[in-house]
Amino acid sequence: MVNPFLMRRTSCCTWKKWYEKMKNSVILGAIFCLVPLCYGHAQDIKLGQLGFYPQAEKIAIIPGGVVGESFYIIDQVAYDTVCTGVIRTAGYWELAKENVGQANFSDFMSPGVYKITSASKSSHPFEIGSHIYESLLKASIKSYYYQRASTELLPIHAGEYKRDLAHPDDRVLVHPKAATEQRPAGTTLRAPRGWYDAGDYNKYVVNSGISTYTLLAALEYFGETLATLSLAIPESENQVPDVLDEVKWNLDWMLTMQDPHDGGVYHKLTSKEFSGFVTPGKAIKERYVMPKTTAATLNFAAVMAQASRVFAAYERDFPGFSRACGEAALKAWKWSRINPARIYDQPADVTTGEYGDDVLSDEFQWAATELFVTIRRDSFYTFINIPSITATVPSWRNVSTLSLISLARHHHLVPAGERSQAKKKLLDLAGRLLATYRDSPYKMPFGGAASDFVWGSNGLAANQGVVLLAAYYLTEDKHYLSAAMANMDYLLGRNPLNYCFVTGFGKKSPLDPHHRPSFSDHVTAPVPGFLVGGPNPGQQDKCTYPSDLPALSYTDDVCSYASNEVAINWNAPLVFLLAGIIQAHGSERE
Ligand code: G3I
Ligand code: 9MR
Sign of CA dihedral 545, 550, 552, 555: positive
Q: Which ligand neighbours the alpha carbon of 203 most closely?
A: 1
pLDDT at 294: 98
Q: Which ligand neighbours the alpha carbon of 206 most closely?
A: 1
pLDDT for residue 86 is more than 50: yes
Residue in 269, 130, 127 with CA at minimum distance from that of residue 189: 269
pLDDT for residue 32 is more than 60: no
pLDDT confidence band for 14 (50 / 70 / 90): low
Cβ distance 256 to 192 under 8 Å?
A: yes
Cβ distance 302 to 366 under 8 Å?
A: yes
Quote the CA–CA distance of 128 and 571 in Å, as a whole number: 25
Quote the CA–CA distance of 268 and 410 in Å, as a whole number: 31
pLDDT tens, position by position, 357-404:
999 999 999 999 999 999 999 999 999 999 999 999 999 999 999 999
pLDDT for residue 3 is more than 70: no
pLDDT at 39: 41
* % of residues, the chain, pLDDT over 90: 91
Cβ distance 291 to 342 under 8 Å?
A: yes
Quote the CA–CA distance of 219 and 147 in Å, as a whole number: 20
Tell how far the Cα of 508 is from the centroid of ligand 1, in angstroms: 27
Domain regions of the chain by residue span: 16-128, 134-589
Quote the CA–CA distance of 486 and 501 in Å, as a whole number: 14
Which is the closest atom of ligand 2 to the Cα of 352?
9
Tell how far the Cα of 315 is from the centroid of ligand 1, in angstroms: 39
Tell how far the Cα of 157 is from the centroid of ligand 1, in angstroms: 33
Q: Which ligand neighbours the alpha carbon of 460 most closely?
A: 1
pLDDT confidence band for 5 (50 / 70 / 90): very low
* DSSP summary character for residue 16: P
Which is the closest atom of ligand 1 to the Cα of 202?
39
Quote the CA–CA distance of 327 and 149 in Å, as a whole number: 25
Pocket test for ligand 2, best of 274, 277, 518, 569 (most atoms within 8 A of CB): 274
Residue 397 in contact with ligand 1 by CB distance below 6 A: yes
Which are the catalytic amino acids?
200, 514, 556, 565
Tell how far the Cα of 344 is from the centroid of ligand 1, in angstroms: 15
Residue 274 makes CB contacts below 8 A (sequence gap 6+) with: 200, 202, 351, 352
pLDDT tens, position by position, 431-485:
999 999 999 999 999 999 999 999 999 999 999 999 999 999 999 999 999 999 9
Pocket test for ligand 2, best of 561, 563, 566, 569 (most atoms within 8 A of CB): 561
Cα angle 259, 264, 270 (rounded to 5 degrees) comes to 70
Listing DSSP states for 158-215 in one string gives HGGG-B------SSEEEPGGG--SSS-TT-EE-----B--BSSS-EEHHHHHHHHHHH
CATH architecture of 16-128: Sandwich (2.60)
Q: Which ligand neighbours the alpha carbon of 274 most closely?
A: 2
pLDDT at 33: 43
Quote the CA–CA distance of 466 and 519 in Å, as a whole number: 30
pTM of the model: 0.94
CATH class of 134-589: mainly alpha
Pairing mode of beta strands 89-93, 98-104:
antiparallel
**Phi, psi dihedrals of residue 46, rounded to the nearest 5°:** -105, 135
pLDDT tens, position by position, 503-548:
999 999 999 999 999 999 999 999 999 999 999 999 999 999 999 9
Tell how far the Cα of 561 is from the centroid of ligand 2, in angstroms: 6
Residue 452 in contact with ligand 1 by CB distance below 6 A: no
Tell how far the Cα of 563 is from the centroid of ligand 2, in angstroms: 12
Residue 534 in contact with ligand 1 by CB distance below 6 A: no
Indicate the angle between helix axes 321-338 and 294-311, nearest 10 degrees. Answer: 150
pLDDT tens, position by position, 484-496:
999 999 999 999 9
pLDDT for residue 42 is more than 70: no
pLDDT tens, position by position, 249-278:
999 999 999 999 999 999 999 999 999 999
Which is the closest atom of ligand 1 to the Cα of 540?
21
Nearest CA to ligand 2 atom 1: 200
Residue 197 in contact with ligand 1 by CB distance below 6 A: yes
State the amino acid at position 404 in one-letter form.
Answer: L
Cβ distance 326 to 311 under 8 Å?
A: no
Residue 567 in contact with ligand 1 by CB distance below 6 A: yes
pLDDT at 120: 87
Quote the CA–CA distance of 55 and 141 in Å, as a whole number: 26
Identical topology for domains 16-128 and 134-589: no
pLDDT tens, position by position, 422-446:
999 999 999 999 999 999 999 999 9
pLDDT tens, position by position, 219-232:
999 999 999 999 99
Residue in 214, 210, 403, 414 with CA at minimum distance from that of residue 310: 214
| E-only strand ranges, 429-525 | none
* DSSP summary character for residue 388: G
In this structure, the residues whose C-beta lies within 6 A of any atom of ligand 2 are: 198-200, 274, 353, 561, 565
